Amino acid sequence: MYRYITFDPEILGGKPLIRDTRLSVEFVMELIASGATVDDIAGKYPHVPAEAFREAIGYAAHAMKNEIVISATITA
C-alpha cells in the first residue's frame, strides 16, 4: 500500500517512518506544521526522494480519517 512508509518496533518504538531512515511521519508533519514545504524538507534530506515526504503526508491524512474526539463534562 505504501512504498516509502514502514514500521519497525526496533526503530523509534515502532512509529511509522520513511523506509531506510529514522525520519518519522510525525517528524515530517511537525516540519510541515512549522511552515516547511515538501521541497524545503527534501532539500534538507537529499538522500530521501521528495515523493517519500508526500507519501508521509498522505499516510498521516489517511490515519486521521479514523480519528475521533470524545469529550466529557464532569459535573459535581
- 25, 35, 50 from 5: Cα distances, Å: 8, 22, 13
Predicted TM-score (pTM) of this structure? 0.84
**Residue % of the chain over a pLDDT of 90:** 82
**4 CB burial (10 A radius; 0-12, 13-18, 19+):** buried
What is the arithmetic mean of pLDDT over 47-65? 96
Residues 6 or more apart whose Cβ sits within 8 Å of residue 17: 5, 6, 7, 8, 11, 23, 24, 25
Tell me yes or no: is domain 5-64 CATH 3.20.20.140: no
Report yes or no: 4 and 18 within 8 Å, Cβ to Cβ.
yes
The predicted pLDDT at position 66 comes to 79
Q: Return the domain boundaries, the chain.
A: 5-64
